[in-house]
Each structure stands twice: as structure tokens, then as C-alpha cells.
Structure 1
Amino acid sequence: MSVTDLGEGVEITFEDGKKQITPVVLGADGYRSVVRRAIAPDHPYARYAGYLVWRGLVEERTLKRPVPWPSDGGLWIEIIDGYRLVAATLPGRDGSLVPGHRQITFAWFDVHKEQLLRRTGCLTLDGHIVGSLARGMIDESVRLDLASRARAIWPEQWLEAVLTGISSPETLSGAPIAEYKPEQLVRGNLAILGDAAHVISPMTGRGLLTGMEDASTLAQLLASRNPKGSFASVLSSYEQARLPFIQGLVNHSMRISAEYRRRAGG
């Protein structure tokens, strides 16, 4: 699929070769955005931030005993030997918060897997992210290595949950952390928002909220558009309103990533 700004509208070319003309295209199509490639062809891809996050989800009933969290619910963060673990309890599939019937989720940040990402085709030679280690794609040898590392570093209170999550290829995933600082958000009748417009580390805690703010700003501008005015002028106003903040946020993300890599020895 591709999109091309024609000045008076946008041409969309679908994978089957069919074409369609539309007045405007708003790209909220993720960190590998097709629309971004049309807006910024010389700067189309998000770059690797130097670490990935292993994510797992575990049914607490499969564990030998409930996870002894310090309190009911909440979020716990641990940094040991440069690795970072974020773990939390979630309601069970039936909504239960009773210990033993909940779900356990974890995110394990790891600076030591660049070669794995290159070997699996997730990372280009020049550091652009073009793929992810999705569920079902992680080799047993990788999971065994992670289990060995987990036993060496993670505290007993959540070790069993992490090991259980690692052992399940159906629930374990590995996402390289991407960062993208846009030089522009708009080209004619094309605009990007959300992860298509800016990619930041989850350590900022701002990714989802920033995407919602993009959408809200753009919706308000479109709702107040002069019917005789052009979509391109509205999109230009959107870029003026959002670009300075977005660039500052990505700079903040890059500083956080650099500090984590320094502490982790990556």
C-alpha cells in the first residue's frame, strides 16, 4: 500500500493495485507507518533505542502459589545488574482480584539483544526497526537463555511468574524499543498522528496520552474548518500546534534511553 499527495487530494494505491482518490489521509498506522514514508521519504523509519522489552502474561492459577505482592494491585519496578523489570497484577479473565485467580503481567527491559534482533531481521544494519519478535516466534534457545538469566537476577517474589511467562512461546514477545523524532507531521493533504508521528520509550509513560492529544487537536481543528478552506491549511495548523511539543518529548525519551543504557552497560 502507498499514498501520494496530488495537491487537490490524495491517491491511495492498495496492495492489489486498485487506486482511490480521497480529499485527505490521516495516518495513525503505527511506528512503521506507510503515510510517514510519503510525508518524510528521507526519514521514514524509527530507530532502535538500544534495548528491547520482553513481555509476558501469566495466569496466576498456573503457579505453585499466588504471587506475594506487598499490597493488592499496583505496579512494581526493579532494576538489577542493568536489567529492569516492571510487573503488575491484573484482574483474572473472570474479573477476579482474589490471589490465585489474577493475571500477572511483566515487562523486562534488556539492553543485550541487538545481535539477536539483527539475526532475526528485526533491525537493519543502519539501526532501523523493521520487525518485532512476536508471540510464537521466539526460539527455545532464546527462552532457555532468558530463564537462566532470570534465575540469576530476579527476586523470588516474582521469579516463578517470570519463568512461567518465558516458558510459553504463545504469550512471550520481544519488542525492540523504537524512537522517532519527526521533522514534519504534514505534507499537503497527508498528516500523521500517534505512533506514526512520534515514537517514544514506554519509560516516559506518555505514548498513549500523546497520541490521544494529537487526535483531539486534529479533531478540533477539522471541526472548526471553514467549509471554503482547504484541508491542507487545517493540517498545517495541526503541525504548528503539535510539532514543537512532540520534538521535545522525543528528546526527553532519548535522554531516558541514554541514561538506562548507561546504567545497564549497554
Structure 2
Amino acid sequence: MSLKNEIIEFIEEKVSTSEHSDFFRQPLVGFSSADDPLYDNLKDIVDPEHTHPRDHLPEAKTVVSFFIPFSEKIVSSNKKDKVAPSREWAKSYTVTNNLIDYISSSLVEYLESKGIGAAKIKATKPLDEDILKADWSHRSAAFIGGLGTFGVNRMLITPIGCAGRYGTVIIAYEVEPDKRSEKEYCLYYENGTCSACVQACPVQALSVDGFDRFKCQEQLTGNANLYKDLEECSVCGKCVVSCPQAMIMSR
């Protein structure tokens, strides 16, 4: 079995056997070259402080991106109220972040046992308060790795949807990169027929022309007070679950 398939099966097994496996569907895994010029471009596209794979692992050869999609019950739960996130949605945020960190750490340990250097990037990283951006974008790495295309809601829409979360592991081993999608998954960008995410945003932070991340963050911070018994859960997700492409049942 190739290392590529080993990694895919490793991640799939960790998700399917996790304590809250009913929160998830089968994950997607994508691979990109650490030499892909798009990683250099992220300093211009995302933020000047965005890091390069080799900032995390000097001998980096390949970036492994994985998407853990939420199950139908998690997505549906967050459609019931137009403003407040559901408890299930809030819990899924913390559960998934913990799972991503566990998978990433376990994969690094597994690869190192095979003599392959690797480094994980945490599921969530501190935001620069002036611009509300972190120094690594899991979604941008996943785009480079061919997992999907960006929507108006700023989510990466994959062949199985956009409701879920992403992780990244960087490895010192060359794996054949995946091709980027030629299909546009966002219906607005494909043919202008949809703006459901814009209409669903409770604070009008979204438009088809831009995104006010400060309005969004204010809403997220307020929502964190709704479920104080849970771990940090600054969540909303209305722009995600309202998207017709939140869940694409192709697998």
C-alpha cells in the first residue's frame, strides 16, 4: 500500500472509531506539494503573516489536508433557530477540534515511527486581533490540495459539502499531489443562482462582494455565552447550514 493510501485509511479509521463518530461522515483527504507556488501567494491572498509549510517543518515535502464533514443530525440541528446556534452544533465544534488535534498528533507519531518527519498544525490558532486572522489557513491549504472551491460564505465547499472542519499535517515525504477541482461548487459563483448564505447571516456580515469579519466575530463571541458548560465554542454556522451545498450526499 502506498503511503498516500495509508494516510487516508489512518484518518478514516480515526474518525469512524471516535467517541462521537455519529457526529461525522466519512472524511476527505487531499495532498499538495510544499513547493506549490500558491503557498507563497497566500501571503498576498490571505495575510502577509501567513506561514509557509516549511516554517512548520523545514524539510517539508507534502501538505496533508483533511476535511471531517458533519452528519445530517448536526447540520439539521442548527437550522431550527435563525439566530442562535444549536447545542449540538456548539458541541460539535469543540468535539471536532479535539478530534482534529488527536488525529494530527497520532498521524505525526505514526509517520515518525516509520522514519518520516512530520508536523501538525493545531485545529484552532490565536487570531491577530487587529485583522482577525491566524497565521495558517486550513481551508486555503485544503483548496491547494484539491479538496474543493470557496463559496460566498468563505467556506471551502467540497464534493461532499462544506459543513465540517479541516486539519493539516505537514510531512517530509513526497506524495503525489491531488489536482485542484475544475468544478465550481458554489452555486452563486457557478451561475449566480444562490445567495442563501448572505440571507441567512444574522448580522449581515456577508455579501456577495465581501465579508465583515468583525461583525461576524462579535456574533461568535456573543454566542459563546450560550453554552458556558461546554469548552470554548464561539460558533454560529448559519451561513454554512443554509447553503444548499452544506451536505452533498455523494458518499
The structure whose Rg is larger is: 1
> Which is richer in strand?
1
Common fold: TM-score over 0.5: no
Report the TM-score when normalising by structure 2. Answer: 0.27
Could you state the TM-score of these two structures normalised by the residue count of structure 1? 0.26
